[in-house]
Structure 1
């Protein structure tokens, strides 16, 4: 890698200068550095030229492998690099990735999609097969390539037990250095939320070839909500009890968060175009960008207007063709949770809510027609996720609800469809969930959604809907905040609400989801996003030719 090699050369020459100084006492203190610099410049220049040549060769190899143009004319193809280190995770972020790739393969014949991934334990064929089995998305192997990254542990939370946000962000830059050393694209799209890669890509764009930068933001790495929780000393998965219990630790963390927000917002400014998955995310990203622009303007003593390409909401695509046909009547008393087993999903809240429900309504404990079950379906990306599942199973046993809880880990798509077709309630407990594609799947499948009263599910998805233009909007689901509130709503659904009212709500929820969150809506928004990046890339190449 050029950057690592450069660092090594500089360190070697600095050691060489120190050696000269040690063996030549009385020489001018600058003299060794002059010698080191004289030696360094030609070495760095040669290394730089070699790296540029290697980078061009790697680009040509990708085009040659595609077997669609001659190896001598690689510029006829546009290489789009998707930075997605966990492309095989099977979550909502991967829905966006593969839907976007499939759409571009259908509509952009001169584009080669390259995914930068750390899933080195899977093959290209296995990743494509999972996209098909989990999301029912077909991909063209001839126009899809993978760049395998070995440093993915640098963005793993377990690598950074302290200062996790900063550590993962620095790690993403290191991972992006590896990615760009292996292949430099024409257009770089971060589809996982690693905005700290943008300055590095922008720097590479200046010295190698113009690179248009785009980002699909699922969740702001830091938000005003996170800052407020630390300020108020409220506990959560990003603000542990040992911090909330200490005034000075809270103050230190608040300063740390403000510094991080400052760096994050300036990284976002490097993108040519940003799209987000919900109005909740847009509000936070807009706030960060406005703050960054104001600070930049004060520093430069100028006023730069916001980009003409503002932050755009593009709801994630949800393929609902197989979900919309499920009958809404005769549902089993199953509370379905579809979410990856990560800490922010707050699965423990669901288990505790079930315990409170069963304590209040013992008749729901057992019996073929009356028992209520909580089924947790989710993917495990890491060993930490697997340990989390075991901890949740321990909580289930501790609360004595093991006969009413079932875990389904890394389920294939047909298994997920089966559970969606027969469950009654779909639950989501994440606080400040950015969007919640699982909630859309609940609604399209005919489940009653029960979600946290925050974030995208609260503001964008489970909102009142009017079946007819002239009718009043009616509820499409329920909201809650605590285990007690979730339990109360579940009791209301299973015990108190008439079945005809629930059926009407299911129909409203389904129609709302089908109307607002289909693949066509996503593709229209993605097309606008893509056109901005494509025009930016084209103008960048023309400017380079003019120079």
Structure 2
């Protein structure tokens, strides 16, 4: 604990020094340089990742290009060493997104400031301060009249607006902190972001709750530096409205773009070509709780009558060594539970292969607690899968809805997920009818709906975004 505290103080002290130095340098540069061409920048340090956030990025870039056809479009990203053509090819292959013209990539060398390291796991504050370093480097390398943060790094907004003189817009996928996280700490409930060590101690829990409250205030102050904020769900809207104190029209919900048309072309839920497999799509991050999926599948598989031929297919992207370690842990757990032969883990799958996997399966599984939205859940429903999702956040409030909506199935615990899987396979005709109803509801999340809503939101940046004559 002492070593961690010393590391935290040392890291914070040095980060503040770096930020102060970059503020001075960037302010000098900002007074000397200004882009002659109207310039729109997207701040997305992980532009080459394969998750739903990156689909929002590339669809957002396409919308900006359509709205400002003569503007220069920049992508601030930390994907050094990856050729721009490879990043764009990945966007095409994974998301079927084709841009009308190529953006300019501005590669940032300081992305490690927001990443985990072998000897130190950064706190929310450390990552937020680190994002300010990234923003400072972005300004140093290339300024823009408008900066759109598409990853939710609110601490960058004062850097871009106060130092860079830019108008700031944002697409927020989930709040860095939420009242749910605070409640988990106060209740001393262990979770992926509240360790058992802290949860078991009244003193540590009290200290962490104080830290969370202070950070929440600071987070709101930084977030209010944005002129336009779009969020991806009703759940996220509620938290951002409360934390940032923003209201419509500056704050609005724009559901993320889902390629519904492609998935709607797949066979109907009861097609004979479908296997009995269960498929899960999501980055291999701890909050996605793939471990719960393996455990629930193993428990359901041990139930008499559960189809022996059903497999669990886990599909997701691997961003770094931590993600790779989580994949290895999943293999180990599957072996420990004696279901290794029925668990198929596929990493960095191309979009056509992803579509094919959904079209060949029966159930779509999602287990993230308080998922901010859940693009994968929409894809399951559009693909005609019987959808079993976590009964919180976006899946509950916007996508699947309560059980009375009849669009899918919900669960919140290991027992409930296992029981729901058993129920689905024991009542397949009924479950497939639910899947058909869910499929009929997904066009409200289509690319066209996103394009119209996001383009409308961009208008809030337009009156003040044009460069001075």
Q: TM-score, normalised by structure 2?
A: 0.91
Alpha-carbon distance in structure 1 between the residues aligned to 2:424 and 2:289: 21
Counterpart residue number, 1:488? 419
Q: Does residue 534 in structure 1 map to residue 442 in structure 2?
A: no
What do the CA deviations read for 1:472-509 (whole angstroms, capped 9, x no partner)? x74110000111100100111111x151x233222211
Q: Does residue 81 in structure 1 map to residue 41 in structure 2?
A: yes
1:339–1:83 Cα change, 3 Å:
same
Counterpart residue number, 2:263? 323
Query: Mapping of 1:284-323 within 5 angstroms?
Result: 284-290=239-245, 309-323=249-263
Larger radius of gyration: 1
Alpha-carbon distance in structure 2 between the residues aligned to 1:363 and 1:160: 44
Q: For the Cα contact (< 8 Å) 1:160–1:168, is it kept in 2?
A: no
1:259–1:163 Cα change, 3 Å:
farther
Question: Residue 144 of structure 2: SS of its match in structure 1?
Answer: coil
What do the CA deviations read for 1:207-250 (whole angstroms, capped 9, x no partner)? xxx41111101000000000000000111100011111111111
Alpha-carbon distance in structure 1 between the residues aligned to 2:116 and 2:18: 23
Alpha-carbon distance in structure 2 between the residues aligned to 1:221 and 1:154: 16
Once the two structures are TM-superposed, the CA of residue 336 in structure 1 deviates from its matched residue by 0.5
5+ residue gaps, structure 1: 11-43, 60-73, 291-305, 366-370, 466-472
Q: For the Cα contact (< 8 Å) 1:153–1:159, is it kept in 2?
A: no
Q: For the Cα contact (< 8 Å) 1:157–1:164, is it kept in 2?
A: no
Query: Mapping of 1:336-485 within 5 angstroms?
Result: 336-361=279-304, 364-365=307-308, 371-463=309-401, 474-485=405-416
Alpha-carbon distance in structure 1 between the residues aligned to 2:457 and 2:119: 33
Query: Mapping of 1:229-308 within 5 angstroms?
Result: 229-290=184-245
Q: CA RMSD in A?
A: 2.2
Matched residues, number: 450
Q: For the Cα contact (< 8 Å) 1:95–1:135, is it kept in 2?
A: yes
Q: For the Cα contact (< 8 Å) 1:424–1:448, is it kept in 2?
A: yes
Alpha-carbon distance in structure 2 between the residues aligned to 1:391 and 1:307: 43
Counterpart residue number, 1:151? 110
Alpha-carbon distance in structure 2 between the residues aligned to 1:396 and 1:118: 34
Q: For the Cα contact (< 8 Å) 2:185–2:199, is it kept in 1?
A: yes
Counterpart residue number, 2:90? 130
Counterpart residue number, 2:434? 505
Counterpart residue number, 2:54? 94
Counterpart residue number, 2:6? none
Counterpart residue number, 1:35? none
Once the two structures are TM-superposed, the CA of residue 417 in structure 1 deviates from its matched residue by 1.0
Query: Mapping of 1:107-256 within 5 angstroms?
Result: 107-142=67-102, 144-158=103-117, 161-162=120-121, 164-205=123-164, 210-256=165-211
Once the two structures are TM-superposed, the CA of residue 120 in structure 1 deviates from its matched residue by 0.9
Question: Residue 451 of structure 1: SS of its match in structure 2?
Answer: strand
What do the CA deviations read for 1:75-119 (whole angstroms, capped 9, x no partner)? xx3211111000110100001000111222234212222110001
Question: Residue 98 of structure 2: SS of its match in structure 1?
Answer: coil
1:48–1:284 Cα change, 3 Å:
closer
Alpha-carbon distance in structure 2 between the residues aligned to 1:362 and 1:307: 52
Alpha-carbon distance in structure 2 between the residues aligned to 1:137 and 1:252: 46
Question: Residue 196 of structure 1: SS of its match in structure 2?
Answer: helix
Alpha-carbon distance in structure 2 between the residues aligned to 1:278 and 1:156: 26
Alpha-carbon distance in structure 1 between the residues aligned to 2:142 and 2:278: 46
Q: TM-score, normalised by structure 1?
A: 0.79
Greater fraction helix = 1
5+ residue gaps, structure 2: 1-16
1:189–1:48 Cα change, 3 Å:
closer
Alpha-carbon distance in structure 1 between the residues aligned to 2:181 and 2:264: 37
Alpha-carbon distance in structure 1 between the residues aligned to 2:388 and 2:361: 13
Alpha-carbon distance in structure 2 between the residues aligned to 1:162 and 1:256: 16
**Higher relative contact order, structure no. (Cα contacts within 8 Å, ≥ 6 residues apart):** 2
Alpha-carbon distance in structure 1 between the residues aligned to 2:242 and 2:27: 39
Question: Residue 73 of structure 2: SS of its match in structure 1?
Answer: strand
Alpha-carbon distance in structure 1 between the residues aligned to 2:437 and 2:318: 33
Alpha-carbon distance in structure 2 between the residues aligned to 1:273 and 1:160: 38
Counterpart residue number, 1:519? 447
Q: For the Cα contact (< 8 Å) 2:27–2:163, is it kept in 1?
A: no
Alpha-carbon distance in structure 2 between the residues aligned to 1:456 and 1:189: 23
Question: Residue 158 of structure 1: SS of its match in structure 2?
Answer: coil
Q: For the Cα contact (< 8 Å) 2:30–2:163, is it kept in 1?
A: no
